[in-house]
Amino acid sequence: MSTESTVLDAPLGNVSIGGINTRNDSFSEEKDMELVQEVGCLSIIVLGASGDLAKKKTFPALFHLFQQGFLQESDVHIFGYARTKLSDDDLRARIRGYLEKGASTEHAEVLTRFLQLIKYVSGSYDSKDGFQLLNKKISEHEISKNSQPGTSRRLFYLALPPSVYPSVCKMIRENCMNQSDLGGWTRIVVEKPFGKDLKSAEDLSSQLGELFNEQQLYRIDHYLGKELVQNLLVLRFANRFFLPLWNRDNIDNIQIVFREDFGTEGRGGYFDEYGIIRDIIQNHLLQVLCLVAMEKPVSLKPEHIRDEKVKVLQSVLPIKHEDVVLGQYEGYKDDPTVSDSSNTPTFATVVLHIHNERWEGVPFILKAGKALNNRKAEIRIQFKDVPGDIFKCKKQGRNEFVIRLQPSEAMYMKLTLKKPGLEMQTIQSELDLSYGLRYQDVKIPEAYERLILDTIRGDQQHFVRRDELKAAWEIFTPLLHNIDAGQLNPIPYKPGSRGPAEADELLARAGYVQTHGYIWIPPTLA
């Protein structure tokens, strides 16, 4: 690694190589990532720059990386591309408000510098004119930075509906590739949904696979960028506490839950085509399940980790209809972009069973819903009752280990203790690790920030491999086809409720025992 390109103001523990800081820690060594010196300039191209995701997530994530010194002005340029006719300043004005959110006034100067890095190119997604113009602009930028031909890096972020991925990828392949023989690269980031079922996903994978190899494709699932999801591997495999307990002998059931307290606002048209299983469960919750249930990987190399995720997905048994409850919130169909006869679930509880030595008989309950009573995502691991319980604890509740992904990241263990005082009474209490309290000086990065950084570093661990995607669709496709054919219908539920009561009944049938009279309240700073 050359010291010439090491910048002194790089964040602690990081080394800047060619405008992007590479991690200088033991993880990188373990992952066996090649810290190749990258001297070419970096062009980040956001396709679909006029859209919702680009303004709410992609540009803010790039801005945060810039603010923290991970993207260097001397090397980086950002291009927005879409059909809408906009000037550079129009695009900057559109996204400015989203970048200012939560930023202090002292960031105004940094924001102005960041916005100056952004250029906009207008063009269609299926004709070469726009892409040739884009290529010309990227090349001009590369020449202006004295980048050696072939050493430049081009990251294309497809913030677009998946229907246009094949044509956009073809256009990039034919018109905008960097020459890779001199250490430069071209990488493509694609957003979910990757298909609607097994066949469409495989078709899409084949189409993209003809244009780019697996090392160039980054299928993003932003749940894999969340702090506590990234912690799962460390938590499970670096702690002696958990190793002997994490199995069917001790664990009764596991819930992975996503709740939102708002409906499909503004995205009804998209959502109605997909529904909650395709939008949340088949991807985000299933990815979390993989990390909770997989065996220890041989090493931290991305391929070893993804190999284990595929194995656990392939061990999931076919879903039975009696293990599913669907719901649709009242008022969902008032959205003019949603069909009056829509059968699309906005809520689902699905119980999965993993047929292997560790998990046989342990239900994995995946639950997701929109327009519910609160916004929360968590993993709830419920342990079996204590055998020969002399304290009659069963009446109070079981041990639970809860990993709160959001909001207020935390881990807590619900356990039974002696109630403080003269009497010998038991109560439910908790061992609590609340991140807000424990890590007061740390700003937890946004998932997109972390994942975009990974794409630039070439780290595919937190991205979905093609065979993983296939295995995930194999689990859900039969159920989804049956729902699409009207064989299962959603039960109406009131917005702001817990969802259909039938879902709680399914939970109880699966073995979950609710603790009554006790809730954990996230501690706050005094």
Ligand X SMILES: O=C1O[C@H](COP(=O)(O)O)[C@@H](O)[C@H](O)[C@H]1O
Provide the annotated active-site residues: 284
| Residues lying near ligand X in the complex (CB under 6 A) | 222, 260, 279, 377
**DSSP E strands: which ranges in 419-477?**
426-434
Among 161, 436, 495, 511, binds ligand NDP (CB under 6 A): 161
Contacted entry of ligand X, ligand NDP, none for residue 51, CB cut-off 5 to 8 Å set by kind: ligand NDP
Looking at residues 68 to 107 of the shown chain, list those that interact with ligand NDP (rule: CB under 6 A).
82-84
Q: Which residue's CB is nearer to ligand NDP, number 91 or number 362?
A: 91
Number of residues that bind ligand NDP (CB under 6 A): 19
* Both tokens assigned to 483: 């729902």
Residue 70 CB, shortest distance to ligand NDP, in Å, is 22
- In this structure, are residues 385 and 415 in contact, taking their beta carbons and an 8 Å threshold? no
Q: What whole-number distance in Å separates Cα of residue 140 and Cα of residue 122?
A: 17
Residue 240 CB, shortest distance to ligand NDP, in Å, is 37
Name every residue whose Cβ is closer than 8 Å to that of residue 169 and which is 6 or more positions away in sequence. Answer: 158, 188, 207, 208, 211, 212
Binding segment for ligand NDP among 52-60, 302-310, 360-368, 456-464 (CB under 6 A)? 52-60
Among 149, 150, 162, 495, binds ligand NDP (CB under 6 A): 162
379 DSSP 8-state letter: E
Contacted entry of ligand NDP, ligand X, none for residue 164, CB cut-off 5 to 8 Å set by kind: ligand NDP
Q: Which amino acid is at 102?
A: G
Angle at alpha carbon of residue 498, lines to 493 and 503, rounded to 5°: 80
Whole-number Cα distances in Å, 478 to 197, 198, 274, 319: 9, 9, 15, 8
Residue 56 CB, shortest distance to ligand NDP, in Å, is 6
Q: Which residue minimizes CB distance to ligand NDP? A: 51
309 binds ligand NDP (CB under 6 A): no
Contacted entry of ligand NDP, ligand X, none for residue 279, CB cut-off 5 to 8 Å set by kind: ligand X
* Both tokens assigned to 36: 């190749």
Residue 444 CB, shortest distance to ligand X, in Å, is 12
- In this structure, are residues 472 and 313 in contact, taking their beta carbons and an 8 Å threshold? yes
Q: Which residue's CB is nearer to ligand NDP, number 48 or number 225?
A: 48
Residues 442-458 as b/e (b if ≥16 CB within 10 A, e otherwise) read eeebbbbbbbbbbbbbb
* Of 299, 282, 277, the residue nearest 29 (C-alpha): 299
Residue 187 CB, shortest distance to ligand X, in Å, is 21
Among 120, 125, 332, 473, binds ligand NDP (CB under 6 A): 125
Residue 162 CB, shortest distance to ligand X, in Å, is 12
- In this structure, are residues 410 and 378 in contact, taking their beta carbons and an 8 Å threshold? no
Contacted entry of ligand X, ligand NDP, none for residue 471, CB cut-off 5 to 8 Å set by kind: none
Footprint on this chain of ligand NDP (rule: CB under 6 A): 48, 50-54, 82-84, 125, 159-164, 191-193
